[in-house]
Structure 1
């Protein structure tokens, strides 16, 4: 240990340079991880908070199910009777609106039955009720954009006026803030034709995007799908139906994988060069009686100190970036995610340094005794 620290001190310039590279690689991996988690939350957080276990779509919707799937009340009633479980309709559409104070916002309208289990709890104001059709509960993300409880939100091009009655926790769908409306109101948003008279609202189809289930284990969903021409997936599987979710995850995870591959190569290349330059010193230590095991421990300690301290500094830098960007971009780096990411970086970095250990153990002590003369 003494020799390892002494050598680190003697060649501090080289080790500081290498440590700086490890810091930057670790910080970059942490930042990418934060963006991966943040983008995922910004795409599916509203779906993640649904108190449902499964979602039922129409069988003809094979992709973008929330946009393409349509079920009707007859199918919902049949599912409710045959499945013997809690079911409730769910509609999702992305639209735009303007408040009476002139604030323009995009919103993902979630159409729900106010009497069913999808009705969100509110942090301020009132929740949705069955006797108030033209009401809306907004997420905290819409409140950040200037919408307030008590405002009137007018849906663009349709003229549908909604009174903001409550505020719920922060959630979004497809990078758009979520808001919750009664199912009948959602059907007006989804199926109304811009410029059509108000009387046309009575002719709107009684349809919705999906059925939300609270299905106990053992429910034969496959048999029910065949019987009712539907497609049932778990809530987690339904995340893939959110716009952009799969592509974003694939892109960000690919970047992370390449960074995990780069880290051991960079660390391994540095210690390989360092080991070649230290061949005379290693040979001298062997000639003085140092065992191969001692040299291995000496080298591993040096690598561990550089990699672990560099990774720890990189974690601090990544966390600082997260605090700096705040709510300006979709960035989320929980402590568990940060710890897991940094442990992986440290592990692959040490793996890279291990590639040089063979040169340490194969050093010839006769080199210092004139074997080459």
Structure 2
């Protein structure tokens, strides 16, 4: 690394410029990744409370309406499962809370379809559980045109970019959007449907078996939004790799006489390649580290106005991917190091 460090010191301006470029790209990638996670959370957070096998009506949760009789049939399909071990039916509807549009949600059945630490609120009839900061316990509010008493608050439930207000199942029309916590073969009605695991009764709607983890993919808005943002993120990473690779390619070409001289003095091709790769790693690690630090600093002060999620998956993983892609971009420059002949240092004369 002696030559690489010497080059960085002697061409300080160039390396500062490329490091700043990498840092800005890392800032864009990590911030966009956190924003992607935040938007996904506000689109599907309420579904994170549920787990296991599930069924919806049709092929999209957006249009899924399972009639009340069908809900009762599904919940009662497996007589060996009762109480808390029974499946959970989730109703999602649209309503208003004051002047704000919200999603009204309610659950019935057991808790087998719910994540233990995030079980859905179940207020009493005529009561609601509202988002934090919107009302106090004991307040009387109007939800979906009905007067209700606030019995609790919940911090972070979202669906389709709207906050969720939990109501009692008796205060809904009895239909369900999804039923979770099912056994894979609990409602099989004939052998031809065994592959799907779940079927509707002849009089009911066509049901689609899925898992709660795959439910977001059945939302048109989620799929389009998530795919678009991921594509932009990937393009930024590729651009960063190309920019870094182009810089080190030009830098290596300018250093070919020095490389030839070092080879003539006995330096091995591998040691020179290792030196160039170490030089690139310094630029990438420093640049990506600075960009990531700026993102985390911004996240600490961003507040709730912007849907941003700072986790290892939205910060560290994109940073590692950016570093790896940057190294791959630099490998093109290493070819010049390997092809340079020590004879070039002597003008090509033997």
Q: Could you state the TM-score of these two structures normalised by the residue count of structure 1?
A: 0.82
Aligned pairs, number: 332
1: CA distance, partners of 2:231 / 2:45: 22
Q: Which of 56, 63, 71 is the matching residue for 1:76?
A: 71
CA deviations 1:301-354 (Å, max 9, x no partner) are 111111111111111111122123221110002134311111110000011111
Given that 2:186 and 2:198 are in contact with CA atoms closer than 8 Å, whether structure 1 keeps it comes out as: no
SS of residue paired to 2:25: helix
Alignment of 1:198-237 (within 5 A): 207-216=174-183, 219=186, 222-223=193-194, 225-228=198-201, 229-237=206-214
Counterpart for residue 258 of structure 1: 235
1: CA distance, partners of 2:260 / 2:43: 58
Q: How big is the shift at 1:182? A: 0.9
RMSD: 2.5
Alignment of 1:83-98 (within 5 A): 83-84=78-79, 85=81, 86-98=86-98
Counterpart for residue 37 of structure 2: 37
Q: Which runs of 5+ in 2 are unaligned?
A: none
2: CA distance, partners of 1:186 / 1:217: 28
Alignment of 1:57-206 (within 5 A): 57-58=56-57, 61-63=58-60, 65-66=61-62, 68-84=63-79, 85=81, 86-98=86-98, 104-113=99-108, 116-117=110-111, 128-129=122-123, 132-138=124-130, 142-144=131-133, 146-155=134-143, 159-187=145-173
Is structure 2 residue 48 aligned with structure 1 residue 53?
Answer: no
Is structure 2 residue 303 aligned with structure 1 residue 314?
Answer: no
Q: How big is the shift at 1:74? A: 2.6
Q: Could you state the TM-score of these two structures normalised by the residue count of structure 2?
A: 0.87
Q: Which runs of 5+ in 1 are unaligned?
A: 99-103, 188-206
Counterpart for residue 275 of structure 1: 252
2: CA distance, partners of 1:233 / 1:78: 18
Given that 1:95 and 1:107 are in contact with CA atoms closer than 8 Å, whether structure 2 keeps it comes out as: yes
SS of residue paired to 2:340: coil
Counterpart for residue 199 of structure 1: none
Given that 1:268 and 1:353 are in contact with CA atoms closer than 8 Å, whether structure 2 keeps it comes out as: yes
Q: How big is the shift at 1:162? A: 1.2
Q: How big is the shift at 1:247? A: 1.1
Given that 2:77 and 2:186 are in contact with CA atoms closer than 8 Å, whether structure 1 keeps it comes out as: no
CA deviations 1:119-166 (Å, max 9, x no partner) are 99999xxx645xx4211012xxx323x32222222136xx31111111
Given that 1:76 and 1:211 are in contact with CA atoms closer than 8 Å, whether structure 2 keeps it comes out as: no
Is structure 2 residue 263 aligned with structure 1 residue 286?
Answer: yes
Q: How big is the shift at 1:217? A: 5.7
Change (3 A) 1:209 1:143: same
